[in-house]
Amino acid sequence: MTTNQPKVIFFIGIGGIGMSALARYYLALGCKVFGYDKTRSDLTDSLTQEGAVISYDDVWQENECFSKESTLVIYTPAVSLENAWYRQFKSLGYHVLKRAQALGEITRNSNGLCVAGTHGKSTTSAMLAFLLNDTELGCSAFLGAIATNFGNNFLINPSSKYTVIEADEYDRSFLNLSPHASIITNIDPDHLDIYESEEKFYEGFRQFAMKIDPTGFLILKEGLKINALCKQKTYALNSSTANYTARNITESVNGACFDLHTPSATYEHLCIGINGSHNVENALAALALCDNLGADMHELVRKFHQFKGIKRRFEKIYSGKNIVYIDDYAHHPTEINRLISSVRHMFPNQPITGVFQPHLFSRTRDFGDAFGQELAQLDSIILLPIYPARELPIQGIDSNWLLQKIKNPNKRLMNPSELLEYLRSNKQGVLLTIGAGDIDRMVEPIKELLQINDSAL
């Protein structure tokens, strides 16, 4: 049996953003989709409405639909291998694949356009899918976030030969892909619990680049040194040497604008619909890939201002009389630096309060000093407990340990249950919620609180 043939799919960890995109793919094919997840969420609720049957109990449950001949089981490495569903399916001899293996098989028969990098993958992938979607080239897409324009993390176009894929480096997942073309946005060491060293992390990206089709191409952030068998094109802001560059960058309430310089043309005052110089970089990468595919650049330049971004990436949640609230998925020091820098640029005279939920004990340990340095740039810092995800606690590593590394007197530890009450007095400036854990569950309550605060003024 191959992933092209199953009639029943069971997802272990179906509520993950990457897993849910795969679930939607199989639902679109008319398969029966089942799954397990630890907690209910907006994503699992959406999948249920779309036809998936989901259990939240880590207890094996017999189902007459399951059989070794017709059922494929897909799991995410974020779920423990001690999970009851995983152990039972394995013991019964079912066909079990990692998410990355399943995605690799699904996309092997199309021209994969893979976006890799420690930061910017989700936004760049969503930009690429948005740009190609309405062109003659078209695309399907497996995204690592909900694209606002689509209201989805999955896009299917059976008539297109291209598939946009967010290429995740965690657990070396991206090495299961067979790219026709790729973007590498950056290579800042991360996931050292998996890779063990910075050199092995870089080696993972080198191996990924060598998997690109020799007849394809690699779009690479200028300054990165990566060998590949295919041709390479570079991009960077304000560069005189990159193949693609952006100059005269400005910011407004409608997003960032810039002049785009390509090897063959210049396009003045291109607007991308979202803010941040890091998003201008992401846009450059997406445009460069489209240009090398032969897309009509005039058409893309005209439509880019309609791009609305993705959920939890510099997402403006609320803008009131005296306060602006932005939610962001940043969970690495470099991402936090970019977030704070962009907010400072947009709101130069406003105090910035950041609520940060560290993600993983190992990441907090590995980058503690860097987290402390970047968070100290905020005017006021609130640290929540570490979100453990797949990990067990590490002795001596907690949010209090991280707090000591922040050289800023306006800092405090807080539990989520205390946060709303504290924020009642936060009535001006910019408020940021930051992190990749379950801090997103606080977004709507915080938004409602700020609306109440504004109405009382």
Please answer whether residues 429 and 323 qualify as being in contact, where contact means their C-beta atoms are separated by less than 8 angstroms.
yes
**Structure confidence at residue 360 (pLDDT):** 92
Q: Which domain holds residue 339?
A: 315-455
Helices (H), 217-270: none
In this structure, how many other beta carbons lie within 10 angstroms of the beta carbon of residue 129?
30
Helix (H, G, I), strand (E, B) or coil at 409: coil
Domain end: 306, 333, 352, which one? Answer: 306
Tokens of 91: 């013991």
Q: What is the pLDDT of residues 130-189, one digit of tens each?
A: 999 989 999 999 998 999 999 999 999 999 999 999 998 888 889 999 999 999 999 988
- Asked if residue 370 and residue 244 are part of one domain, the reply reads no
In sign, the C-alpha dihedral spanning 4, 6, 8, 9 is negative
| Cα–Cα–Cα angle for 73, 79, 82, rounded to 5 degrees | 85
Evaluate if residue 456 carries a pLDDT over 70. no
Q: Say what the pLDDT of residue 229 is.
A: 95
pLDDT tens for 114-124 read: 999 998 999 99
d(CA 309, CA 124): 10
Residue whose pair of structure tokens reads 């910075």 in the numeric block: 198
Q: What pLDDT does residue 196 have? A: 85
Does 382 or 106 have the greater pLDDT score? 382
Please give the biggest Cα pair distance in the chain: 64
Residues 148 and 293 in one domain: yes
Query: What are the tens digits of pLDDT across the range 382-419?
Result: 999 999 987 889 999 999 999 999 999 999 999 999 99
- Beta-strand relationship, 8-12 and 32-36: parallel
Amino acid at 429: G
Strand residues in 16-137 grouped as ranges (E): 32-36, 53-55, 71-75, 95-98, 111-116
Q: What is the pLDDT of residues 300-355, one digit of tens each?
A: 999 999 999 998 888 889 998 889 999 998 999 999 998 999 899 888 889 999 99
Q: What is the DSSP letter of 34?
A: E
Q: Are residues 379 and 406 in the same domain?
A: yes
What confidence tens digit (pLDDT) does each residue in 188-211 have?
Answer: 888 777 788 999 999 999 999 999
Residue 1 is predicted with a pLDDT of 38
| Distance in angstroms (rounded) separating the CA atoms of residues 227 and 430 | 42
> Do 372 and 403 meet the contact criterion of CB atoms below 8 Å apart?
no
Neighbour count for residue 131 (Cβ, 10 Å): 26
Q: Are residues 326 and 302 in the same domain?
A: no
Q: What is the CATH number of the domain that holds 43?
A: 3.40.50.720
Assigned domain for 410 exists: yes
* DSSP class per residue in 210-277: HTS-TTSEEEEETT-----SSEEEEEEET-SSSSEEEEEEEEETTEEEEEEE-SS-EEEEEE-SS--H
Give the integer Cα–Cα distance in Å for 237 and 247: 7
User: First-to-last CA distance in the chain?
Assistant: 64
Rounded to two decimals, what is the model's pTM? 0.83
- β-strand partners of 163: 112, 140
SS3 426: coil
pLDDT at position 4: 52
Beta bridge partners of 319: 324
Is residue 426 predicted with pLDDT exceeding 80? Answer: no
* Confidence (pLDDT) at 155: 95
> Do 197 and 118 fall within a single domain?
yes
How many Å is the Cα radius of gyration of the chain?
Answer: 22
By the 8 A CB rule, do 222 and 237 touch? no
Q: Examine residue 444 and state whether it is found in any structural domain, yes or no.
A: yes
Nearest to 39 by CA among 13, 71, 17: 13
For the CA atoms of 81, 86, 87, 88, what is the dihedral angle to 10 degrees?
170
Regarding whether 140 and 123 lie in a shared domain, the answer is: yes
Amino acid (one-letter) located at 228: A
For residue 95, the cross-strand partners are 72
> For the chain, what is the domain count?
3
Residue 152 bridge partners (DSSP): 147
Q: What is the mean pLDDT of the chain?
A: 92
**CATH, residue 426:** 3.90.190.20
Mode of pairing for the β-strands spanning 71-75 and 8-12: parallel
Both 91 and 172 in a single domain?
no
Q: Which of 242, 271, 306 is the last residue of a domain?
A: 306
**Section 73-100 average pLDDT:** 92
Could you tell me if 349 and 430 are in contact, meaning their C-beta atoms sit under 8 angstroms apart? no
What pLDDT sits at residue 77? 83
Between strands 179-184 and 111-116, the pairing is parallel
Q: What is the pLDDT of residues 242-282, one digit of tens each?
A: 999 999 999 887 789 999 999 999 999 999 999 888 999 99
Inside any domain, residue 1: no
Q: Which residues of 103-127 are buried (b: 16+ CB within 10 A; e: fewer)?
A: bbbbbeebbbbbbbbbbbbbbbbbb
Q: CA 182 to CA 188: how far, in whole Å?
A: 17
Residue 277 and residue 220: Cα distance in Å, rounded?
17
The stretches of 134-259 forming alpha helices (DSSP H) are 192-195, 198-210
